[in-house]
Chains A and B, each alone.
Chain A
Amino acid sequence: MRNLRSTGGPKYYFALARLVSWLRGQDATRHEGDPLEARLPGAGIFLVTGVYALQLCDSISSGWIQYLFWLTLPVLVFFLWVLLFYLFSFCVRALRAVKPFSALPNSRIQSVLICGLTTVFAAILTQSKAWPRAVGYVWMASVFVNLAAALILFFADGRRQLN
């Protein structure tokens, strides 16, 4: 019988939060139990994708088509991601043949692909004007800080869990 027990102290998934835990002398192992981590990055991914799609639509259409697009944008972004999850699952199968990915669970490899694509969208947004640029920069900064934290953990803690 598996042990279904209290999770005890806080544990995190993303490298930055794990680094903070590690600096405080707490457990820095990867864990999916933090409610904030379960909500914030997903909202960020949908926000970056939505803003990118909005920019794209503004540049190629006008009038009522644009309004219709704005109205249906959340649903379109949802279906886009559902389709991408399915397409990425084929990439995951292919990547399984490569050594660093062979031991990782499917969701971790998908995470790399999803965050990679979102970062591409964010990088394009940083080239735009006004507030969409800010959205792009915030995402890029989050990714950079998280990767830096992953590197510190990799060398300092020796856990070798790159995010």
Chain B
Amino acid sequence: MSNGDSGWLRDLAVRGVLWRHYLDWTITNVPFYLHPILLWFCTVFFFFFAGPARRSLVANLAVVLPGSNWFINQLRAFRTLHTFAWTIAEAAVYKLKQAEFAYSIEGEAILDELAAARGAIVLTAHMGNYDLGAALFAEKVGRELRMVREPEADAKTAEHLQASLQQIGAGAVRIDYNTQGAALSFDLLQALRNGEIVSIQGDRATRNAGEAIGRIFNTDVPLPSGPFTLAFAAQVPIYPLFIVRLGYRRYRIILRSPLHLQRSGPDRAVEISQAIGKWCRVLEGIISQHHRQWFAFTPLFSRHAES
């Protein structure tokens, strides 16, 4: 994959593995009371060097907060990047130092229902600390979780992330990448029928997966159709779940009422379309409330479809 200078430069790129190694080294070697200042400086660095991510955040914020000021949105983008830095740093702290984290649960009854479910899809978003959240969830409900992720652009980063997630999840979180196409769909369907819990990020359609157009903030947005098709085929509920950062080593798990796709409904397409509509309402509500933690580093809204 990597050779010579191009490999070295790739490691140094914004999505390169070098930063992940530097983060791990810092967590192990630098006292915790210097982390906030280092994270702040790193955010300043990435604010300027991760231009496409910053521009995407600003473009998405313009839709989420209509009429918002461009300059203020730049500051909001900085805050989002800073929160992102904190979440990946805290995931590394958990991985490397086995530190304690405080958490609260919003929707505990729904979590109990999910823990007892025979087969379920956890639909989440690129929000808060979803890596740490997966481990937290698996530990809390005492069940194994299969996590479907978008592959990393850099192979070494993907390798590092895979190892980190396995270490964080202590074997209770299994990772699948949505590059495997139909084979993964059948595998996940089988897992759901066997009563397993599958976690999928549902706020962004990816290149290799099927998509459906949803509507949030009065704007059309391509969303992954896979979770809904799977839920319909396996006849399992979809549980919207989000993990947001409240402060220094403090998180909240937010659960919303499950979405049920019934075979007895009018027809499959209508049933899926209605479920996507409900998911869009949930997503819109959670993004409105926690837009500073929505790590939407690609432009998600189709401008031409605005009404």
Residues of A within 8 A of B (CB): 1-7, 13, 31-35, 37-43, 45-46, 75, 78, 81-82, 85, 88-89, 92, 105-108, 110-111, 114
Interfacial residues, chain B to chain A (CB-CB below 8 A):
26, 28-38, 41, 94, 97-103, 135-136, 138-140, 170-172, 247-249
Are the C-beta atoms of A42 and B36 separated by less than 8 Å?
Answer: yes
Known contacts: A1-B139, A5-B100. The answer to whether A85 contacts B30 by CB under 8 A is yes
Task: Name A31's closest neighbour in chain B (CB-CB).
Answer: B100
Residues of A within 8 A of B138 (CB): 1
- Pick the residue among B34, B140, B172 that contacts A81 (CB under 8 A): B34
DSSP class of B's interface residues: helix, strand, loop or mixed?
A: helix
- A40, A41, A85: most-surrounded residue (chain B CB, <10 A): A85
B244 CB, nearest partner CB in chain A, Å: 16
Q: Which residues of B contact A7 (CB under 8 A)?
A: 100-102, 249
A38 touches B94 (CB 8 A): no
Which of A4, A32, A75, A89 has the most chain B CB atoms inside 10 A of its CB? A4
Whether A114 and B31, one on each chain, are in contact in the complex, defined by CB atoms closer than 8 angstroms, is: yes
Instruction: Please tell me which one of the listed residues B35, B101, B136 contacts residue A38 in the complex, with CB atoms under 8 A apart.
Output: B35
Q: How far is the CB of A29 from chain B (nearest CB, A)?
A: 12
B29, B98, B99, B139 pick with most chain A CB within 10 angstroms:
B29
A2–B98 CA distance with the chains assembled, in angstroms: 8
Interface SS, A side: helix
- Is B30 touching A4 in the complex (CB atoms < 8 A)? no
Residues in chain B near residue A81, CB distance under 8 A: 34
Most buried by B among A42, A88, A92, A114: A42
Determine if A107 and B36 form an interchain contact, defined as CB atoms under 8 angstroms apart. no
B98: A residues at CB distance < 8 A: 2
Q: How far is the CB of B28 from chain A (nearest CB, A)?
A: 6
A4 & B94 in contact (Cβ 8 Å cutoff): yes
- Contacts A4-B135, A6-B102; A42 near B37 (Cβ below 8 A): yes
User: A4-B136, A13-B33, A111-B31 provided; 15 other pairs, C-beta below 8 A?
Assistant: A3-B139, A4-B100, A4-B103, A5-B100, A6-B103, A31-B100, A33-B100, A33-B102, A35-B249, A42-B33, A42-B37, A82-B38, A85-B30, A88-B29, A106-B28
Chain B residues with CB under 8 A of A46: 37
